Amino acid sequence: MFLSYFHLAEQPFGATPDPRFLFQSASHRETLASLYCAFCANRGFTALIAEPGMGKTTLLLEFLDYIHDHASTVFLSNPLCKSDNILSLILYDLGITPSHAVANRHRQLNEVVLSEARSGRRLVLIIDEAQNLSVHALELVRLLTNFETPRSKLIQIVLAGQPQLADTLSRPEVAQLLQRISTVCRLERFSNAETAAYIEHRLTKAGHTGANLFTAGAIQLIAEASHGIPRTINTLCFNALCICRARNSKLVEESMVGESICDLQLPSYRGAPSNVQAPTEIPVPFIPHTSEIRLSASRLAWYSAKMSAGICAALTGVHMWTTRVQCWFRGVLGGIPIQRLTGWLLRNVGFWKASCRDRANDGV
């Protein structure tokens, strides 16, 4: 590990959604404010759309910390289940054993919602990775907003997911749900300046003090290769720090980031230095297994033996055929001299050619 080497208290570029490391870029800050305003205004439905790796789960956990003292919360991080089981997951998260009957589950949830309302609190349901919900499951979630009084909604629902969620919400089958969504928030990728601030923010949170760990060129290369996606930035920074530690250096340079990019086989990026090239696919020659080599050798020997036998048989057949032809000529021609035989053949050939010319002229 490089933590003690770089005088860090904890991992600055971890893979878990820790709200303590949340960096509030312009879009992250605006999204967090929109979620909190929708909660305070009791708007019922809110949607959060973000690409993979943009930190939406970290932001949602930060939002839960904001409202923890004012609401009971349910966080469903993996809604890959049958639509009928969503109520069961909600009840389990609230510490209630769900009934086997669907109607009884609705009654159980209704009792919880009314109990929270009497104490001046609301129930906030957050469904992460909501793009995995079926249309039927989304319709069931919509029906949960029917828990209300003439003055206010008793359940606040946040649907968070990847861009596929926006495609699903635009379908005609869920038009009623789309009408109830009052706020749609989106997380945008970091700019180059925000990427540099993000790296410095996480290093500071991890306990770094003193001189910069990354050169300006290294940060610029990270910004270009990551395209402003926080998860990719974390991966590049972690690998670059590992390479820096392996070289016994105290400063992450551009070449180290380039090596990290090549190790991860990221797509090519603009502005790469001449000594750092994006990885290309190198054809790998096929090397057969040893058993395959032995098998191929045995097959070659077998084919060679077969071919030799075939050649011998063919030569024997040719020899026998020529011998028979010679015997036939001797028996048919007898003792005819070769001059008489040649003259006979020439006369017959000349007669055949004259006959062909006559036929051609008759045809004309």
Dihedrals phi, psi of 163, to nearest 5 degrees: -55, -25
Residues in the chain where the model's pLDDT stays below 70: 1, 81, 266-364
Asked, colleague to colleague, whether 26-186 and 192-264 share their fold, the answer is no
Q: Which CATH number is correct for 26-186, 3.20.20.70, 3.40.225.10, 3.40.50.300, 3.30.420.10?
A: 3.40.50.300
Cβ contacts of 144 within 8 Å, gap of 6 or more: 109, 125, 155, 157
pLDDT given at position 349:
52
Give the predicted TM-score (pTM) of the model: 0.70
Cβ-based neighbour number of residue 338 at 10 Å? 8
Dihedrals phi, psi of 123, to nearest 5 degrees: -105, 125
Cβ contacts of 197 within 8 Å, gap of 6 or more: 23
Q: According to CATH, what is the number of the domain 192-264?
A: 1.10.8
Residue recorded with tokens 């910069």:
212
The amino acid occupying position 241 is L
pLDDT given at position 77:
86
pLDDT given at position 270:
45
pLDDT given at position 210:
84
The tens digit of pLDDT for each residue in 109-163 reads 989 998 888 888 889 999 999 999 988 889 989 988 888 777 788 899 999 999 9
Q: How far apart are CA 63 and CA 19, in angstroms?
A: 9
Sequential DSSP letters for 127-183: ETTGGG--HHHHHHHHHHTT-B-SS-BSEEEEEEE-HHHHHHHTSGGGHHHHHHEEE
pLDDT given at position 79:
76
Q: What ranges do the domains of the chain cover?
A: 26-186, 192-264
